[in-house]
Amino acid sequence: MRRPDYHTHLENYALDRDSLLRMAEAAVAAGVDEIAVTEHAHNFLQCRDTYPPDNDWVHGRDRPDRRNWDLEAYLRLLEAARAEGLRVLVAVEWDYCPGYEARLERWIRSYPWDLVLGGVHWLPGRTGGWWGFDIPEQRTEWEHRDVDRVYGDYFRLLCEAASTGLFDVLAHPDVVKVFGHLPRQDPAEWYEQAAEAMARAGICAEINTAGWRKPVGELYPAPAFLQALYRQGVPIVISSDAHWAEHVGFGFPEAERAAYSAGYRTRCVFQARRRLEIPLSRPDEG
Ligand SMILES: [Zn+2]
Ligand SMILES: [Zn+2]
């Protein structure tokens, strides 16, 4: 039974073969047969033009550890790994920033991606700029926000991101809950709208096990959200969002069980941005 992991990062290591091998070897050890390396687009110097200029964190003004990697070197590294026989997809995780769709589209069209992940990580700042609501150093901003409004803004952007049609998969669809801030109102309507937007756009939702490693301690998406996605016929991928080798394939049997209980019997694989549905293993088959 195939078990791909379509969300992994190199940013805590380096942009080199050793780091990639480390992830690939961890994948084999975890029973994962294929990985997509989905580095954050903002780690590539060339791709910063797809972000608003007043996003201080992205442009490295308030983080000394800013990566300034070369996108061409990244693509060469992944192509070379593939030529060596490693099961690696050439992929990227792009942030959806409203108003930057045309630039984003140029970058997406210009390179031979296997898979483009889209995610919402930024909301407008209260006093200008942008707030990375899932970034630990920016967590205190939550204390100044109305949680329901944050959720409303997040899900509106998520629906917009889906309808751009630029992405193959929407990553961690309810990452807004990362630190455990839960809305007072029932989130069912947001879930339904997001699931509808993804269904209309014909894109995949990501079941992302990183939520189990975060303060919220819950899979992305929440059970009720996953059920809404299933009802709307939105296909899925299952991913770890590993930023460290030991997290590749993290929690996959449990995530597969969650997908199965929601009704899913298939998961997706990608190549050159073409999607194929393959059987999801039955929970008792592991
Ligand atoms: Zn992300
Ligand atoms: Zn990620």
Residue 142, token pair as written in the block? 């939550």
Distance CA(119)–CA(179), nearest Å, equals: 17
Whole-number Å distance, alpha carbon 172 to ligand 1 midpoint, is 7
Distance CA(239)–CA(71), nearest Å, equals: 23
Question: DSSP string spanning 221-245?
Answer: SPHHHHHHHHHTT--EEEE--BSSG
Whole-number Å distance, alpha carbon 32 to ligand 1 midpoint, is 20
Distance CA(239)–CA(4), nearest Å, equals: 8
Whole-number Å distance, alpha carbon 240 to ligand 1 midpoint, is 11
Whole-number Å distance, alpha carbon 126 to ligand 2 midpoint, is 25
Question: DSSP string spanning 118-132?
Answer: EE--EEE-BTBSEEE
Whole-number Å distance, alpha carbon 284 to ligand 1 midpoint, is 30
Please check whether residue 3 is in contact with residue 249, taking contact to mean a CB–CB distance below 8 angstroms. Answer: yes
Task: Give the model's pLDDT for residue 285.
Answer: 63
204-208/236-239 β-pairing: parallel
Whole-number Å distance, alpha carbon 233 to ligand 2 midpoint, is 24
Instruction: Render each residue's pLDDT in the chain as its tens digit; 286 residues.
Output: 799 999 999 999 999 999 999 999 999 999 999 999 999 999 999 999 999 999 999 998 877 788 999 999 999 999 999 999 999 999 999 999 999 999 999 999 999 999 999 999 999 999 999 999 999 999 999 999 999 999 999 999 999 999 999 999 999 999 999 999 999 999 999 999 999 999 999 999 999 999 999 999 999 999 999 999 999 999 999 999 999 999 999 999 999 999 999 999 999 999 999 999 999 988 776 5
Whole-number Å distance, alpha carbon 99 to ligand 1 midpoint, is 19
Residue 44, token pair as written in the block? 């590539």
Whole-number Å distance, alpha carbon 38 to ligand 2 midpoint, is 7
Task: Give the model's pLDDT for residue 277.
Answer: 97
Whole-number Å distance, alpha carbon 242 to ligand 1 midpoint, is 10
Domain limits for position 199: 4-285
The number of domains in the chain is 1
Distance CA(233)–CA(199), nearest Å, equals: 7
Task: Give the model's pLDDT for residue 281.
Answer: 82
pTM of the predicted structure, to 2 decimals: 0.96
Distance CA(94)–CA(117), nearest Å, equals: 6
The CATH number linked to 153 is 3.20.20.140
The ligand placed nearest to the CA atom of residue 243 is 2
Residue 41, token pair as written in the block? 């687009």
CA 216 to the chain's CA centroid: 17
Whole-number Å distance, alpha carbon 230 to ligand 1 midpoint, is 22
The ligand placed nearest to the CA atom of residue 92 is 2
Q: 81-88: long-range contacts (C-beta < 8 A, 24 or more apart)?
A: 81/17, 81/20, 81/21, 81/24, 86/20, 86/21, 86/24, 87/24, 87/27, 87/33, 87/34, 87/35, 88/20, 88/24, 88/34, 88/35, 88/36, 88/37
Please check whether residue 170 is in contact with residue 203, taking contact to mean a CB–CB distance below 8 angstroms. Answer: yes
Whole-number Å distance, alpha carbon 117 to ligand 2 midpoint, is 9
Whole-number Å distance, alpha carbon 171 to ligand 2 midpoint, is 8
Whole-number Å distance, alpha carbon 239 to ligand 2 midpoint, is 10
Residue 116, token pair as written in the block? 């483009």
The ligand placed nearest to the CA atom of residue 11 is 2
Please check whether residue 218 is in contact with residue 254, taking contact to mean a CB–CB distance below 8 angstroms. Answer: no
The ligand placed nearest to the CA atom of residue 172 is 1
Whole-number Å distance, alpha carbon 119 to ligand 2 midpoint, is 8
